[in-house]
């Protein structure tokens, strides 16, 4: 996790590290499964912001657990496919609501540079690595965009632009840890 070099400035976006501000206290029991976390807030030229989170998680669980625990109502939406410069990324999609705090969230899990889209695939890979004592890199990556329910299409376009821009700005090797191999 510490070896990831996430740029703060990318084409059309200005970012800052907000890991401490988002309340990911990895010493709390509820975060036992997380060994590292990065959270960056990016703002585009139009002044719209998003949150980019990467968790180094030894035992993945559904983000609905975290959102529900934080008091959000959750709507699961159809998966979203993003066409990125070097591959297509299929993500899970959630719409979360808590008072006036509404977000469109896209998330995916990458285990040793391979996107594990289905829960059973994630668990099978975890079992394989644990049975054979193999080291692996397992990341849960999430993009949260403040959005109203009627603005989901625009938020999705913004997410695709951000993912394309950050994908181009990352070292190709590091990009495979975040987006998987083609």
What's the whole-number average pLDDT of the chain? 82
How far apart CA 90 and CA 116 sit, in angstroms, is: 10
Give the model's pLDDT for residue 139.
87
The closest of 96, 91, 181, 173 to 140, measured between CA atoms, is: 91
**Which pair of structure tokens corresponds to residue 155?**
């938020």
Q: Give residue 26's pLDDT.
A: 46
Give CA–CA dist 2/36, Å, rounded: 8
Residue with tokens 């969230």, as numbered in its chain: 105
Neighbour-count burial of 145, counting CB atoms closer than 10 A to its CB (0-12 exposed, 13-18 middle, 19+ buried)? buried
Three-state secondary-structure class, residue 127? helix
DSSP string, 45-100: TTS-EEEEEEEEESS---HHHHHHHTT-EEEEEEEEEEE-SS-EEEEEEEEEEETT
Task: List pLDDT tens digits, range 93-112.
Answer: 999 999 999 999 999 988 87
| Residue scoring higher pLDDT (4 or 90) | 90
For 128-182, the DSSP string reads HHHHTT----EEEEEEEEE--GGGHHHHHHHHHHHHHHHHHHS-HHHHHHHH---
For residue 85, pLDDT over 50 is answered with yes
pTM: 0.84
pLDDT (tens digit, 9 = 90+) per residue, 50-66? 999 998 865 556 777 77
Q: Do 38 and 19 contact (CB within 8 A), yes or no?
A: yes
Comparing C-alpha atoms, which of 103, 41, 40 is closest to residue 71?
Answer: 103
């Amino acid at each position: 996790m510490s070896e990831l070099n996430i740029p703060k400035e990318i084409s059309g976006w200005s970012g800052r590290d907000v890991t401490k501000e988002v309340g990911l206290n990895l010493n709390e029991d509820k975060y036992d499964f997380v060994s590292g976390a990065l959270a960056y807030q990016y703002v585009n030229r139009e002044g719209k912001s998003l949150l980019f989170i990467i968790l180094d998680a030894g035992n993945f669980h559904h983000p609905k657990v975290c959102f529900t625990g934080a008091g959000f109502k959750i709507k699961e939406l159809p998966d979203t496919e993003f066409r990125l410069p070097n591959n297509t990324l299929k993500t899970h999609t959630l719409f979360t609501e808590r008072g006036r705090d509404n977000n469109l969230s896209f998330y995916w899990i990458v285990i040793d540079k391979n996107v594990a889209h289905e829960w059973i695939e994630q668990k099978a890979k975890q079992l394989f690595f644990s049975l054979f004592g193999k080291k692996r890199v397992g990341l849960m990556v999430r993009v949260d965009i403040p959005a109203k329910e009627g603005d989901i299409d625009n938020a999705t376009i913004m997410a695709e632009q951000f993912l394309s821009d950050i994908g181009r700005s990352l070292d190709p090797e590091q990009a495979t840890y975040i987006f998987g191999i083609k």
